Structure 1
Amino acid sequence: MKNTSKFYKVSDKKSLTTFSQFTSSFSEAFLQVFNLQRNILELKTLHKATKIIMSIMLIATIGSFIFGADYTFSGWVGLITGIAVVLNLILVDQGRLTNYSWGILGCVVWLIIAINNRLIGDIASQSFYLIMQFVGLYVWHHQINKQSNKEELTSRSFTWLNGLFWLVITFIIYFIVLFFSKKLNGTQIYLDASLLPLGIVGQVLMTYGYRSQWIAWITLDIVNIIIWYNQLQIVSPASTSMFVLQIIMLINSLYGLYLWYYGQQKNH
């Protein structure tokens, strides 16, 4: 019988080395994402047009909070969510790594609001987004380090066959979420059930730098505008801030679509 002990020792050593390398890379990515100096620098070096859009979005977010006059805990959480999401989206538009610091904060506070409003699909979506923030910061950090341009992620495209695959995945997940939303007596279940599948597709494509993510985000933003308009009619927690936020997110998605499809090509 052959002596396999040496093989297993070598395999274990390789596994430990690989895990150690992953841990080291992830730690480096995490520290870069939450590095205060890098966060400030990446905001300061945004394009002029991006800064103008960011300012408008922040003013609209704060203005909707004041106009809504909801100074409860949920109202303040809604304001924090809005600011975090705006900064996250703006940084995603330009492929900046520090978007994930704001993305993690935004996901946590948005999850609190979704729970208070009993939006089952939204709860599932934000839970998924939160997990994917940590996946994304590792992948983006690794990809940016491989590029000649170290400032921002360079976008990629995929084939129509890939697009068909993700379309099928979207519908499968939609019907699964719809089934559970009915069982759990969720709110606006037919619209709400679309949030998770669209979010999964958008987030996965964003994580790996595909331009087509913006099609999923634009569709999701339109659905969210309808959902939060309906919530606004019944004066649900933080509904004013969240409704305005959805409009802001749609505008940003259209701007992101332009930058990832045309802006980077012009810059290069």
Structure 2
Amino acid sequence: MTTLENRKNNLLQSFKEVPQNIGKIFAVARQMGFSGVAKAAYNDLFVGRSLFQWLYLIVLSSVPIVLHFTSGSNDWMGLFTAWTGNLCVILVAEGRASNYLFGFLSNVVYFALSFQNMFYGEVMTAIFFIVMQPVGLYFWLADRVKGEKKEEPQVSEFATRKLNFFGWIKWLCFTVLVWGTFGLIYQSIGAARPFRDSITDGTNWTGQFLQSYLYREQWVFWIATNLFSIYLWWMGPDSGNLQMAAMYFVWTINSIVGWYQWSKAVKERKGA
């Protein structure tokens, strides 16, 4: 059997497993009941943090609030997007599935802000993220309910993975493909800087897929996205939104922390 046929069969098998995994997720939810699900959600969001992790969460999530009131800003949409976005990425770094709730809320408002500023790339990225939040949540929950010993998922239990050489090549090619495709799309609709606007499409799409599949290398693409977005919102020709620039600065710090935490989880998994 050829490599192409193997990939085709693996893809078909993955699609066949979707309804089965969804069924398992709902079966576990029914078994736990409403109170059990609520307790699991509470545990995922609040339980299992050290004092340092709580301080880290509070300090980084407070940055947009402090900026909002010290700068006299009236941009409440920017504040909400930055605050929920900060919570989302911190929860991703901790491996908590509740990140997808805050990610959804943040990207809905971010879509409106990006559309208002005519950042075509950011608009498309926001739409992609809105769609991918339930998809990512499915992958994380499906990973946790696999196996008889995982019928009641523990707090922040996630099996981190590491890309091999060919995995890197595949996802770098995917990034370039998305960047070029959206650059041509933006060019066709008259965007002034089509291939600049599409940079974050490439890095964000790859980062989100790697996050959904629990690969630690997502953080490399998040860092690239964050650094360019700081330029876009703060130093670029269409800049001026301090809240968005500060949000991406916080995300850059968190991405470095996330890389460290997920790399540690990969080593621990190998040593288990």
TM-score exceeds 0.5 = yes
Aligned length: 244
Question: Which secondary structure state, in structure 2, belongs to the residue aligned with residue 210 of structure 1?
Answer: coil
2: CA distance, partners of 1:20 / 1:163: 29
2:81 and 2:109 in contact (8 A); partners too: yes
Once the two structures are TM-superposed, the CA of residue 242 in structure 1 deviates from its matched residue by 0.5
2:233 and 2:239 in contact (8 A); partners too: no
- Root mean square deviation of aligned Cα: 2.8
Asked if residue 87 in structure 1 is aligned to residue 82 in structure 2, the reply is: no
What amino acid is the match of 1:201?
T
What amino acid is the match of 2:154?
K
| CA deviation profile, 1:221-260 (whole Å, cap 9, x unmatched) | 111111111359753xxx1110110100000100000000
Match of 2:154? 150
Matches within 5 A, 1:8-47: 21=20, 24-25=23-24, 37-45=39-47, 46-47=49-50
Once the two structures are TM-superposed, the CA of residue 141 in structure 1 deviates from its matched residue by 0.4
What amino acid is the match of 1:247?
F
Which of 144, 167, 192 is 1:162 aligned to? 167
Unaligned ranges ≥5, structure 1:
1-16
Q: So what's the TM-score if we normalise by structure 2?
A: 0.79
Question: Which secondary structure state, in structure 2, belongs to the residue aligned with residue 49 of structure 1?
Answer: helix
Match of 2:179? 174
Matches within 5 A, 1:101-116: 101-116=101-116
Which of 193, 196, 200 is 1:191 aligned to? 196
What amino acid is the match of 2:106?
G
2: CA distance, partners of 1:265 / 1:49: 22
Once the two structures are TM-superposed, the CA of residue 265 in structure 1 deviates from its matched residue by 3.8
Cα 1:43–1:22 change in 2 (3 A) is closer
Cα 1:175–1:215 change in 2 (3 A) is same
Which of 186, 211, 221 is 1:216 aligned to? 221
2: CA distance, partners of 1:80 / 1:170: 29
Which of 69, 73, 86 is 2:72 aligned to? 69
Match of 2:127? 127
1:61 and 1:79 in contact (8 A); partners too: yes
Which of 255, 258, 261 is 1:259 aligned to? 261
1: CA distance, partners of 2:223 / 2:132: 19
Q: So what's the TM-score if we normalise by structure 1?
A: 0.80
Q: Matched residues, percent identical?
A: 23
Q: Which has the larger radius of gyration?
A: 1
Question: Which secondary structure state, in structure 1, belongs to the residue aligned with residue 109 of structure 2?
Answer: helix
Cα 1:185–1:20 change in 2 (3 A) is closer
Asked if residue 118 in structure 1 is aligned to residue 118 in structure 2, the reply is: yes
2: CA distance, partners of 1:70 / 1:254: 29
2: CA distance, partners of 1:251 / 1:129: 21
Question: Which secondary structure state, in structure 2, belongs to the residue aligned with residue 61 of structure 1?
Answer: helix
2: CA distance, partners of 1:263 / 1:154: 8
Cα 1:213–1:259 change in 2 (3 A) is same
Match of 1:203? 208
Does 1 or 2 have the higher relative contact order (CA < 8 Å, sep 6+)?
1
1:84 and 1:106 in contact (8 A); partners too: yes
What amino acid is the match of 2:128?
F
Cα 1:40–1:68 change in 2 (3 A) is farther
What amino acid is the match of 2:138?
Y
